[in-house]
Amino acid sequence: MQEFFPGISKIKYEGTDSKNPLSFKHYNPNQKVLGKKMKDHLRYAVCYWHSFKGLGADPFGPGTIIREYNNSSCPMEVAEMTMHAAFEFFTKLGVEYWCFHDRDIAPEADTLAETNARLDTIVKLAKKLQDDNGMKLLWGTTNAFSHRRFMAGASTNPSPAVFAYAASQVKKAMEITKELGGEGYVFWGGREGYETLLNTDMKREFDHLGQFLNMAIDYKKKIKFTGQFYIEPKPKEPTKHQYDFDAGNCYSFLQKYGLANDFKLNIEANHATLAGHTFEHELEFCVANGILGSVDANRGDLLLGWDTDQFPTDIYDTTKAMYTILKDGGFTTGGLNFDAKIRRQSVDPVDLFHAHIGAMDAFARGLKNAAKMLKEKRLAKFVKQRYSGWDNGLGASIEAGKEDFTSLEAHTLKHGEPKVESGRQEMLENILNEYI
Ligand code: XLS
Ligand code: NI
Ligand code: NI
């Protein structure tokens, strides 16, 4: 088989003294942190769309990145070569998981039946390559946002025929995800939102989205697919407003439509910031509600207001994220999927390695920092102390539901002005800095 990343051998852990850019300085897959191997904490996944199908196109120009595996006029030959290139990359990088959309791995044909047949061909190859290389599928998903039929949404489209098309596509994507042993399935509604309310029946669109996801649960049970379902919040882009706006919004939606027991969330760093939150806010919200599932690990650019999907390199971000994830007991079905793309000028095959190596090292550092923070409990002790008034006396009595407005008024009249206490923000920020 042709080599698509020639001259690059398996990336190794060389430690912090190494000056070799093609080595890990922190990510040492079998090193134990809090009694568990780093690779099992982090569960890194490479995404197929940005890493192999994204070639640097932006709204102002087509792709800049030239890849050997695109060197054919036959679309299925390109699909097969791309799959080989992807697995060469996964194994050289040393990750155990990957993620894909149906349309990333096989191009759409003229009819749904032909498209599905193409998928079957490629899935057979992917399954073989997974087995040969000890690779696993973190999650699969559907691209129901690129084709023009989905311009007004998939399950929230005003046309029932488009709703049906989207259902057929998700049905097949769930089947192939199951076939590949996928540990999860993501719903990201790229165009499940609106451009203008002048042409939109918001109530009906929400109801249809709820109905669609309930049908997906039914089908999941029917085919005995045991992977975890995730919703991936994003506030906007490509639509002006996306219904899965943020974690809080998704959670209310899931509860309203009876979906809360069957879905967890896939939190993406750059989507959090687009929604006006921090990455750790979205994670913390999920932990507070028991719905943290998986993570699309990337970052945005504070000066650019769109989903730039850059590779994560900020150690504060990775430390705080890993602290929250560890507090929650760590990933079960989920992991860290690099839903990130190399920049338009990063045109060489080696750039894809630099990007992933940096991101994996950044999260490995985050993991080590967070483990230390957790072990030393300095932050946790402060928080515990701050709320200790609720552990006994008046606080415990309120939490137990034994107080009412009359008894609380009596308490206040008797005890007078409450004591105010410092939040110690600056001290806590300094403590965090000690771990970075
Ligand atoms: C786009 C989303 C997408 C999902 C999968 O912004 O992040 O890549 O992760 O459809
Ligand atoms: Ni994503
Ligand atoms: Ni994104």
- What's the rounded Cα separation, in Å, for the pair 199 and 157? 11
Q: For residue 237, which atom of ligand 1 is closest to its CA?
A: 6
Nearest CA, atom 5, ligand 1 = 188
- How many angstroms does the Cα of residue 309 sit away from the middle of ligand 3? 6
Ligand with an atom nearest the CA of residue 308: 3
Give the tens place of pLDDT for each residue, 142-172.
999 999 999 999 999 999 999 999 999 999 9
Alpha-carbon Rg for the chain in angstroms: 24
DSSP string, 206-258: HHHHHHHHHHHHHHHHHTT--SEEEE---S-SSSSEESS-SHHHHHHHHHHTT
pLDDT at 215: 99
- Segment 370-392 mean pLDDT: 98
Nearest CA, atom 3, ligand 1 = 188
Ligand with an atom nearest the CA of residue 186: 1
AA letter at 89: F
* Planar angle of CA 366, 372, 375, nearest 5 degrees: 135
Give the tens place of pLDDT for each residue, 212-236.
999 999 999 999 999 999 999 999 9
pLDDT at 366: 98
Give the CA diameter of the chain: 84
- What's the rounded Cα separation, in Å, for the pair 150 and 155? 9
In 3D space, the residue among 339, 309, 359, 270 whose CA is nearest the CA of residue 47 turns out to be: 339
pLDDT at 182: 98
pLDDT at 122: 98
Angle, helix 315-327 to helix 349-376, in steps of 10 degrees:
50
Query: Catalytic residue among 104, 244, 317, 339, which?
Result: 104
DSSP string, 119-157: HHHHHHHHHHHHHHHT-EEEEEE---SSSGGGTT-STT-
* Ion ligand 3 nearby residues (CB, 5 A): 307
Question: pLDDT band for position 324 (50/70/90)?
Answer: very high
* Planar angle of CA 364, 365, 366, nearest 5 degrees: 90
- Whether the pLDDT of residue 34 is over 90: the answer is yes
Compute the half-sphere exposure of residue 274: CA atoms within 13 Å on the CB side of its CA: 27
AA letter at 287: V
- Asked whether 296 lines ligand 1 (CB < 6 A), one says yes
The number of angstroms, rounded, from the C-alpha of 337 to the middle of its chain's C-alpha atoms is 6
Report CA-CA distances (Å) from 203 to 113, 213, 283, 380. Answer: 33, 16, 28, 42
pLDDT at 25: 98
DSSP string, 10-46: --EE--TT---TTEESS--TT-EETTEEHHHHH-EEE
Question: pLDDT band for position 192 (50/70/90)?
Answer: very high
Q: Do residues 297 and 339 make contact, with C-beta atoms less than 8 angstroms apart? A: yes
- Of 102, 231, 234, the residue with max ligand 1 atoms within 8 A of its CB, to mutate for a pocket test, comes to 234
Instruction: Give the DSSP letter of residue 323.
Output: H
pLDDT at 147: 98
Q: For residue 142, which atom of ligand 1 is closest to its CA?
A: 10
- How many angstroms does the Cα of residue 269 sit away from the middle of ligand 2? 9
Nearest CA, atom 8, ligand 1 = 339
Percent of the chain at pLDDT above 70? 100
- Segment 176-199 mean pLDDT: 98
pLDDT at 436: 96
- Asked whether 186 lines ligand 1 (CB < 6 A), one says yes
Q: The pTM is what?
A: 0.97
Q: Do residues 247 and 292 make contact, with C-beta atoms less than 8 angstroms apart? A: no
* Class level of CATH domain 12-376: alpha beta
- Whether the pLDDT of residue 1 is over 90: the answer is no
In 3D space, the residue among 234, 337, 322, 329 whose CA is nearest the CA of residue 277 turns out to be: 234
- Asked whether 307 lines ligand 1 (CB < 6 A), one says yes
Give the tens place of pLDDT for each residue, 94-135.
999 999 999 999 999 999 999 999 999 999 999 999 999 999
Q: Which helix (H) or strand (E) holds 264?
A: strand 263-268
Find the distance separating the first CA and the last CA of the chain, reported in whole Å.
Answer: 44
- How many angstroms does the Cα of residue 114 sit away from the middle of ligand 3? 29
Q: Do residues 383 and 377 make contact, with C-beta atoms less than 8 angstroms apart? A: no
Domain with CATH 3.20.20.150 in the chain: 12-376
- Asked whether 141 lines ligand 1 (CB < 6 A), one says yes
Residues 6+ apart with CB under 8 A from 9: 92
- Of 145, 339, 341, the residue with max ligand 1 atoms within 8 A of its CB, to mutate for a pocket test, comes to 339
- Segment 389-401 mean pLDDT: 98
Residues 6+ apart with CB under 8 A from 340: 47, 50, 297, 298, 299, 309, 310, 311, 312, 355, 359
- Asked whether 339 lines ligand 1 (CB < 6 A), one says yes
- What's the rounded Cα separation, in Å, for the pair 235 and 264? 17
Task: Judge whether 101 counts as a catalytic residue.
Answer: yes
Ligand with an atom nearest the CA of residue 297: 2
Nearest CA, atom 6, ligand 1 = 307
- Asked whether 268 lines ligand 1 (CB < 6 A), one says yes
Average pLDDT taken over every residue of the chain: 98
- Segment 366-390 mean pLDDT: 98
- Segment 359-388 mean pLDDT: 98
Two tokens at 23?
């080595």
Number of H helices, E strands in the chain: 16, 14
- Whether the pLDDT of residue 140 is over 90: the answer is yes
Regarding beta strands 241-242 and 193-194, do their DSSP bridges make them parallel or antiparallel, or are they unpaired? antiparallel
* Planar angle of CA 394, 399, 400, nearest 5 degrees: 95
Q: Which residue blocks in 57-201 are alpha helix, DSSP H?
A: 75-93, 102-105, 112-133, 160-179
Nearest CA, atom 10, ligand 1 = 188
- What's the rounded Cα separation, in Å, for the pair 280 and 278? 5
Give the tens place of pLDDT for each residue, 261-282.
999 999 999 999 999 999 999 9
- Segment 296-322 mean pLDDT: 96
pLDDT at 305: 85
